[in-house]
Amino acid sequence: MHADIERLISLQRIDSAILEATQRLAGEAARLKALDSRLDAARQAVAQAKERLATNLTGRREIEKELAVHQGRLQKYKDQSAAVKTNQEFHAIQHEMAFAQNEIKTQEDRMLERMMESDDISTAQTTAASLLATAQSEVEAEKKAISAEHDDLRARLTTLQAERATIVSGISKGTLATFEMVAKRRQGVGVAEARDGICTVCQMRLRPQVFNTVRRNEEIVQCDTCNRILYFRPPVALAEPPRQI
């Protein structure tokens, strides 16, 4: 195989690994932001539950005040009923007492609704607090993992860059320039394997004479469609089964 082709295959492997590591590092900010957003959402859920519970409590206190007012009025009318002297006064007090009793029932019903609502909110708050604790634990673990991965990726990039420099030094300038130009235009992939008469990257069929030239791996040949430098891997010969005597 042509020496430049072998080196280009290795160079492509290294460049792909460098690209993957670089993209992974570039995505750290978005991953960290997503983790922070998850925590913010969990904290907001707890805060909203607390706010709803506080609103519920305020509402219950207002109802208690209303209830106390009507209970006081009812008791006042009960006390006055013992001293009435005319039917008109009696009917008037009975009317006021009925109104007060109706208001008391209304406020008691409202209080019952608020108490039931309070139970639901308390349950929601407990659930939200539990989810927040879980999120905090998981986010902390994720951030530690991202930090560890960051260090690993940086170390890997240093190693890969050193390997790349060594390989590049052995490739002819013209071939390297062609590879880098094509890779820049083709999403970082400058070489492609030719198999069964097809460029395995762009999936376009090669001219027979081109494929035959590529099969020999003796010169730099580019795909007519995507311009990637082509190479051919001979099929691995299967070991013959042992002869039975």
Predicted pLDDT at 243: 61
* Whether residue 225 sits in one domain with residue 183: yes
pTM over 0.75: no
pLDDT of 90 higher than 60: yes
* Whether residue 131 sits in one domain with residue 195: no
* Whether residue 142 sits in one domain with residue 35: yes
149-161 tens-digit pLDDT: 999 999 999 999 9
Q: Can you list the pairs that 175-184 forms with residues at least 24 positions away whose Cβ atoms lie under 8 Å?
A: 175/4, 175/8, 175/220, 175/229, 178/220, 178/222, 178/229, 179/8, 179/11, 179/229, 182/222, 182/226, 182/227, 182/228, 182/229, 183/12, 183/15
202-213 tens-digit pLDDT: 999 999 999 999
Give the whole-angstrom CA distance, residue 174 versus residue 29.
38
pLDDT of 240 higher than 60: no
205 falls within a domain: yes
4 falls within a domain: no
19 falls within a domain: no
* Whether residue 181 sits in one domain with residue 103: no
Predicted pLDDT at 134: 97
pLDDT of 85 higher than 70: yes
pLDDT of 82 higher than 90: no
Q: What percent of the chain has pLDDT over 90?
A: 87
Domain boundary among the residues 149, 164, 187 is at 149
221 falls within a domain: yes
pLDDT of 241 higher than 80: no
Q: Span 109-132, mean pLDDT? A: 95
Instruction: Give the per-residue SS3 of 171-207.
Output: CCHHHHHHHHHHHHHCCCCCEEEEECCEECCCCCECC
Q: Span 175-197, mean pLDDT? A: 96
* Whether residue 145 sits in one domain with residue 186: no
* Whether residue 209 sits in one domain with residue 119: no
CA 170 to the chain's CA centroid? 43
Domain boundary among the residues 149, 183, 198 is at 149
* Whether residue 178 sits in one domain with residue 83: no
CA atoms within 13 A of residue 217's CA, in its CB half-sphere: 18
159 falls within a domain: no
11-45 tens-digit pLDDT: 999 999 999 999 999 999 999 999 999 999 999 99
* Whether residue 181 sits in one domain with residue 74: no
Contacts with 238 (C-beta within 8 Å, 6 or more apart), sequence order: none
198 falls within a domain: yes
Q: Which helix or strand (DSSP H or E) is residue 10 part of? A: helix 3-26
166 falls within a domain: no
* Whether residue 182 sits in one domain with residue 118: no
pLDDT of 166 higher than 70: yes
Q: Which helix or strand (DSSP H or E) is residue 231 part of? A: strand 229-231
* Whether residue 187 sits in one domain with residue 117: no
Which amino acid type is present at position 188?
A: G
Range of the structural domain that residue 218 is part of: 173-231
Give the whole-angstrom CA distance, residue 231 versus residue 226.
14
* Whether residue 105 sits in one domain with residue 41: yes
Predicted pLDDT at 40: 97
* Whether residue 135 sits in one domain with residue 67: yes
82 falls within a domain: yes
Total domains in the chain come to 2
Predicted pLDDT at 1: 78
CATH number, position 128: 1.10.287.620
Predicted pLDDT at 10: 96
